């Protein structure tokens, strides 16, 4: 039986992003320290010069300015060598007229192992994973997609924005925010955690602090 001390545990939500030095198309980078004070999205793709991955890189680049407006950087990654990344970037620019401006990690397999990006049931390439890391180096969101399914970058962008709004205002974010079926662009007020606060909920709602469907379901516009 394998010694548990030798096992590499996949990082979980709330963990510090693992310290690592990586080779990228923009040179060596130290993660997460080189992005101190910034959010970043690290996303892995199965391989260069593949159809779905190409559409994803174009989609990420198209929204790169929107991510930067949120103080958030993008970092791509696969187990391809750096010269393959460079030639693929050149192909995308020449044939699709899109210039990839964010770095791509050329992984030897060490990063994929540390982050749990190779799933044996899906082959030997990295799955489509997304790690959203905040400005303190904490992992806040993890998405995993199979190789057959391209990602929705607008949802990743929405998720980063929503987490930043949540952090700043101490609120929770409802489904489909900011275009929810129930409360439009309102946010969720954290539920009461004791009897006294629960009884005061409707009184506070009468004063216009927020709106309540019930004492445990209150919402407000920021």
Q: What residue segments make up the domains of the chain, in order of their start? A: 4-151, 170-222
CATH fourth-level superfamily of 4-151: Glutaredoxin (3.40.30.10)
Contact at 8 Å (CB) between 114 and 18? yes
Residue 197: phi, psi to the nearest 5? -65, -35
For residue 182, what are the CA distances in angstroms to 95, 159, 175, 188?
44, 19, 9, 11
For position 118, what pLDDT does the model report? 63
**Structure-token pair, residue 215:** 């004492």
Question: Which residues make Cβ contacts (< 8 Å) with residue 98, sequence separation at least 6?
Answer: 57, 58, 61, 62, 92
- Known active-site residue 53: yes
Upstream peptide bond of 213 is cis (omega within 30 degrees of 0): no
* 76, 105 contact by CB (below 8 A): yes
Digitized pLDDT (tens) for each residue of the chain, 222 residues in all: 344 444 556 788 999 999 999 999 999 999 999 999 999 999 998 889 999 999 999 999 999 999 999 999 999 998 889 999 999 999 999 999 999 999 999 988 788 888 877 666 555 566 789 999 999 999 999 999 888 899 999 999 999 999 999 999 999 999 999 999 999 999 999 888 888 888 888 888 888 889 999 889 999 999
**pLDDT for res 3:** 45
Active-site residue (options: 7, 53, 72, 218): 53
Give me the pLDDT at residue 4, please: 44
**pLDDT value for 40:** 98
* pLDDT the model gives residue 2: 43
Exposed/middle/buried for 32, CB within 10 Å: 0-12, 13-18, 19+?
buried
Q: Report the top-level CATH class of 170-222.
A: alpha beta
Helices vs strands, H then E, count in the chain: 6, 10
The reported pLDDT for the residue numbered 111 is 84
Instruction: For tokens 């920021």, name the residue.
Output: 222
């Amino acid at each position: 039986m394998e010694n548990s001390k030798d096992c590499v545990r996949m990082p979980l939500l709330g963990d510090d992003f693992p310290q690592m030095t990586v080779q990228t198309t923009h040179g060596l980078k130290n993660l997460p320290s080189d992005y101190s004070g910034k959010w970043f999205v690290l996303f892995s793709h199965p391989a260069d010069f593949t159809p779905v991955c190409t559409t994803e890189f174009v989609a990420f680049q198209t929204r790169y300015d929107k991510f930067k407006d949120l103080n958030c950087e993008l970092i791509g990654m696969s187990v391809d060598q750096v010269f393959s990344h460079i030639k693929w970037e050149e192909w995308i620019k020449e044939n699709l007229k899109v210039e990839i401006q964010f770095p791509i990690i050329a992984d030897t397999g060490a990063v994929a192992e540390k982050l749990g990006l190779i799933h044996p049931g899906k082959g030997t390439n990295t799955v489509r994973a997304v790690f959203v890391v905040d400005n303190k180096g904490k992992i806040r969101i993890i998405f995993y997609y199979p190789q057959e399914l391209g990602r929705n970058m607008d949802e990743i962008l929405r998720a980063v924005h929503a987490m930043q709004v949540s952090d700043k205002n101490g609120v929770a974010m409802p489904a489909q925010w900011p275009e929810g079926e129930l409360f439009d662009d309102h946010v969720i007020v954290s539920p009461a955690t004791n009897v006294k606060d629960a009884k005061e909920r409707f009184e506070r709602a009468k004063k216009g602090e927020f709106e309540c469907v019930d004492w445990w379901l209150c919402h407000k516009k920021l």
